[in-house]
Structure 1
Amino acid sequence: MSKGAIFIILLFIFIVALIIYFFIDKRKYEKSSYKKETNKSYSQVRFDKGFNGEYLTFEKLGELGGYSKKLANVYIPKEDGTTTEIDLIFIHQTGIYVIESKNYSGWIFGDEKDRFWTQTFKNGTKEKFYNPIWQNNSHIKYLKELLKHKGYNIKNENYSSIIVFSERCTLKKIQTYSNNVYVVKREELVDIMKNIMNGLNQVISPEEIINIYNTLKPYTNVSEELKREHIDNVMEYKQR
């Protein structure tokens, strides 16, 4: 058999395997809780790095015990009429966990006190990105204000900020100082959250969890116009 024929056969096998992989992967996604919660299409999530990271983290949260509810892409209003978008909110008997998903690769360097963190690639290229702890602090600030306005009395210590990075990156040097702030890789998320929750008392009843979920759910069903306005506001802020 010629080399050309062997190449064609191997190429055919590769294409068939790829089709089978995507078929299985799509079926898995269609049955996921993230699909049920967000109604995003498979192609939206599979080919968008940010959404794919959220999806993987959202599904990881389902491995945790205790009564809970999860939300994704929650657009919380701010006093100036703009919004802040929270990637994931995990409402659990032990508190409210606000999650910022960073589906990055490379080496990650960051200090809670610094405005910008650094992503370094193997070729030596470096990119700066806004401190995700500060970013999530802002999310939590406006979430607290909204829930307080809606009549919920959740104590400050019952909110946790969790920054979740991809398995594809290495957290090379990360410094945190505040209580209830965690920077983790997705593969560590379940174990670390179990450790956080271990020994904590129930501070939110199942009924209140449902009520908070129902209060926040409308803020996930926003128009495409509002989403575009949010992105424009974020881009404008980054250029300042």
Structure 2
Amino acid sequence: MLHIILCLTISLLFSSPSKATVQDFCVADLTAPDTPAGYHCKDPKKVTADDFVYSGLAAPGNTTNIISAAVTPAFVSQFAALNGLGLSAARLDLAPGGVIPLHTHPGANEILLVTHGRLTVGFISSANVPYVKSLKKGDIAVFPQGLLHFQLNDHKTHAQSFVFFNSPYPGLQLLDFALFANDLASILVEKTTFLDEATVKKLKGVLGGTN
């Protein structure tokens, strides 16, 4: 009797409907439109080993800008093999004094690995508790999904790190740019941030906001 039960169990485990197949990957067809469910899959017959390798993070980003920092993404639109895998990455380059200002990723948790120099990083919990730490080469830090966080190079040498997300679409909202780089009426910004008119106008002037 036991022999019969074992045979039936093995048969059920290894048998499957004739049309059932395992899809190992879905390399994005970037010529097709993106959809809420992701990109359509590239024809598997046209997929090569090159599709699973991306070299776009090898070169440093241009840090000659207002924040003295650069973010180089490796999202699905750059690295098509990430489609459907729930992953993405980016490279951060920060010149001395460079900063990735307070921002959130509403769609993903983030883990950061420092590969050169030092960074001061931190996040603020929903209870308004700050968690700040100085990192050196080889250190990693995690930033929970949706919480405001930052990266700052407060040293005299270039800093480099790589960040990884558990989503192909982590999303991004920079707090300073959300407040001062748009056409939201200055009076509303003043009332909702408790900043005076001169400060709001100055920051809008720096970041390109109007109204």
- Give the TM-score category using the shorter length: under 0.3
Indicate the structure (1 or 2) with the bigger Cα radius of gyration.
Answer: 2
Q: Greater helix share, 1 or 2? A: 1
Question: TM (normalized to structure 1)?
Answer: 0.26
TM-score, with length taken from structure 2: 0.28
